Amino acid sequence: MERTIFLVDMQSFYASLEKVFRPDLEEQPVVVAGDPDIRSGVILAACPEAKKWGVQTAEALWEAENKCPHLTVIKPRMQLYLDASVEIAAVFEAVSNQVEPYSVDEIFVEMTHVLRPDESPEEAARLLKRQVKRMLGVNARVGIGPTKVLAKMACDHFAKKTPGEMFTLSDANLQQQLWPRPVGDLFGVGSRMEKHLRNMGIRTIGQLAAFPLEQLQKRWGINGELIWHTAYGRDSSPVTTDTHVHRKGIGHHMTLARDYYSWEEIRVVLRELSEEVARRVRADGCMGCTVSAGAGGHDFDYPAGFHRQEKLMDYTNDGTVIYETVCRLFREHWTGFPLRSVGITLDQLVPDTFRQLSLFSPLQDKESLNHTIDHLKQRFGSAAVLHASSLTQAGQALLRAQKIGGHYK
CATH T-level fold of 13-78:
MutS, DNA mismatch repair protein, domain I (3.40.1170)
> Does residue 166 surpass a pLDDT of 50?
yes
Instruction: Mark the binding-site residues for Mg(2+), compressed into ranges.
Output: 9, 105
Region for 44 from its dihedrals, namely left if φ exceeds 0, alpha if ψ lies in -120 to 50, beta otherwise: alpha
Comparing 329 with 364, which gets the higher pLDDT? 329
Residue 42 has what DSSP assignment?
A: B
Q: If you ran DSSP here, which 8-state letter would residue 237 be given?
A: -
Question: How far is it, in rounded angstroms, from Cα 347 to Cα 247?
Answer: 9
> Is 201 a residue whose pLDDT tops 90?
yes
Residue ranges covered by each domain of the chain? 13-78, 176-231, 249-408
Residues in binding site: 9, 105
**Residue 247: predicted pLDDT:** 60
pLDDT at 2: 84
Burial of 309: CB neighbours in 10 Å, binned 0-12, 13-18, 19+? middle
Which string of DSSP letters, residue by residue, matches 282-340? Answer: HHTTEEEEEEEEEEEES-SSS--EEEEEEEEEEEE--HHHHHHHHHHHHHHH--SPPEE
Q: In angstroms, rounded to a whole number, what is the distance separating the alpha carbons of residues 158 and 56?
A: 18
Comparison of pLDDT for 393 and 183, the residue scoring more: 183
Q: For residue 295, give the amino acid letter.
A: A
What is the CATH topology of the domain spanning 176-231? Answer: DNA polymerase; domain 1 (1.10.150)
User: pLDDT category, 39, cuts 50, 70, 90?
Assistant: very low
Task: Please state, rounded to an integer, the average pLDDT across all residues of the chain.
Answer: 86
Q: Kindly tell me if the per-residue pLDDT of 174 is higher than 90.
A: yes
pLDDT at 361 over 90: no
Q: How confident is the model at residue 313 (pLDDT cuts 50, 70, 90)?
A: confident
Give domain 249-408's CATH number out of 3.90.650.10, 3.30.1490.100, 3.40.50.1100, 2.40.128.50: 3.30.1490.100
**Contact of 82 with 100, CB cutoff 8 Å:** no
Residue 328's contacts (CB-CB under 8 Å, 6 or more residues apart) are: 310
227 pLDDT higher than 90: yes
Query: Active-site residue numbers?
Result: 106
Give the residue-averaged pLDDT of 245-274. Answer: 83
DSSP label of 23: G
Q: Is the pLDDT of residue 302 over 70?
A: no
Number of CB atoms found within 10 A of residue 33's CB: 26
Residue 390 near residue 397 (C-beta atoms within 8 A): yes
Q: Kindly report the CA angle at 106 between 100 and 112, in degrees rounded to 5?
A: 50
- Show Cβ contacts of residue 388 under 8 Å, excluding neighbours closer than 6 positions: none
Amino acid at 191: S
Q: Are 177 and 169 in contact (CB under 8 A)?
A: yes
Give CA–CA dist 325/360, Å, rounded. Answer: 18
Determine the angle formed by the axes of helices 78-93 and 121-136, rounding to 10 degrees.
Answer: 140
Separation of alpha carbons 110 and 407, rounded Å: 31
pLDDT at residue 108 greater than cutoff 90: yes
Q: What is the pLDDT of residues 237-257, one digit of tens each?
A: 888 876 544 567 788 888 787
Dmax of the chain from CA atoms? Answer: 69
What CA–CA distance (Å, rounded) separates 184 from 205? 8
Residue 62: what pLDDT?
Answer: 84
Mean pLDDT of 21-26: 89
Note whether 282 and 371 are within 8 A (CB). yes
Is 0.75 topped by the overall pTM? no
